[in-house]
Structure formats: C-alpha cells, structure tokens
Amino acid sequence: MFGIGMPELIVILIVALIIIGPKKLPDLARSLGKGLAEFRRATDDVKESLNVDGIKNDAKDIKDSLLYGTDKKESETTEKTDDKT
C-alpha cells in the first residue's frame, strides 16, 4: 500500500488523531472512504469505456501475426478447409 508499513501507518493515525481530534476523525475517515470508492468506480468506468481488454487482445493478435507470419483467423480458416478435404 504505497510502501507504507504498519509503523508508519500508526504514526499517521496518531498525528491525525492529535490534529483533527477524536470527534471529527470518524467523519473524516468516512468521507475519505467514500471519496476513494467513488474514484475507483470512476476509473473502472473509464477502463470499461476504453475497452482495454479488447485492445490488448487485438494487439496480441497483431503481435502474433507479425512474429509467426500468419493471421490467427487465416490459420483457423485453413484448418477448417483442411478438415473438409
């Protein structure tokens, strides 16, 4: 988690408790949690809208076709026609 270990996390919590106070700390933690959840949802939506997985698969197919000199779809078509004969 960002390279923060348990001792550093405890120090951060103690400093936050001293600065913010025990009454406002739960409200702050709640609002931070909601903010992080909203940020994660937004990044997931952006990833989904960009269709990153589809692009990765297309890039892999292109890479394979360049490395092996055949297109995956061409080899499947060739296999199907070979099976029929």
Identity (one letter) of the amino acid at 36? L
DSSP string, 13-74: HHHHHHHH-TTTHHHHHHHHHHHHHHHHHHHHHHHHHHTHHHHHHHHHHHHHHHHHSS-HHH
Binning pLDDT at 50, 70 and 90, where does residue 36 land? very high
pLDDT of residue 82: 57
Binning pLDDT at 50, 70 and 90, where does residue 37 land? very high
Binning pLDDT at 50, 70 and 90, where does residue 30 land? very high
Q: CA separation (Å) from 42 to 9, 24, 48, 49, 70? A: 26, 27, 10, 11, 39
- The predicted model gives 8-37 an average pLDDT of 91
Is residue 48 over pLDDT 90?
A: no
Is residue 35 over pLDDT 90?
A: yes
Asked if residue 78 lies in contact with residue 67, where contact means CB atoms within 8 angstroms, the answer is: no
Dist. CA 51–CA 44, nearest whole Å: 11
pLDDT of residue 80: 58
